[in-house]
Amino acid sequence: MLRCVLFSHRFRFSHAGSTMQWACARRCGETGSKTYGSAAEARRFARAFDREDRDDLGRRAPLLGLFPLRAFRLLNRIRRSDS
């Protein structure tokens, strides 16, 4: 699929028992799996890998590149705490 070639795959991770599975969310057909020693271990890795950088945008941002977003978040936090 052209989107995966241009922007790379967008893997989503899940688990079934002690097996962690992944598949491209863009439905290009790229999939895989890995078996761990326990279901808890597979669940832990699937949760850790299934995060997207967009979820934390502004919290783990580069200091200078997204400084306006960091300042906006700080002002919102201060404003909420004063209310």
- Whether residues 13 and 33 share a domain: the answer is yes
- Whether residues 43 and 61 share a domain: the answer is no
Q: What is the spatial distance between Cα 34 and Cα 17, in angstroms, rounded to a whole number?
A: 11
Query: Tokens for 1?
Result: 């699929």
**pTM for the whole thing?**
0.57
- Whether residues 47 and 25 share a domain: the answer is yes
- Whether residues 46 and 66 share a domain: the answer is no
Task: Report, as an integer, the average pLDDT of 17-22.
Answer: 94
Range of the domain at 73: 56-83
- If pLDDT is split at 50, 70 and 90, which confidence band does 64 have? low
Task: Report, as an integer, the average pLDDT of 10-18.
Answer: 92
54 close to 65: Cβ distance less than 8 angstroms: no
- Whether residues 66 and 37 share a domain: the answer is no
- Whether residues 79 and 66 share a domain: the answer is yes
Tokens 């078996």, located at residue: 35
Domains identified in the chain, total number? 2
Q: What is the spatial distance between Cα 78 and Cα 83, in angstroms, rounded to a whole number?
A: 9
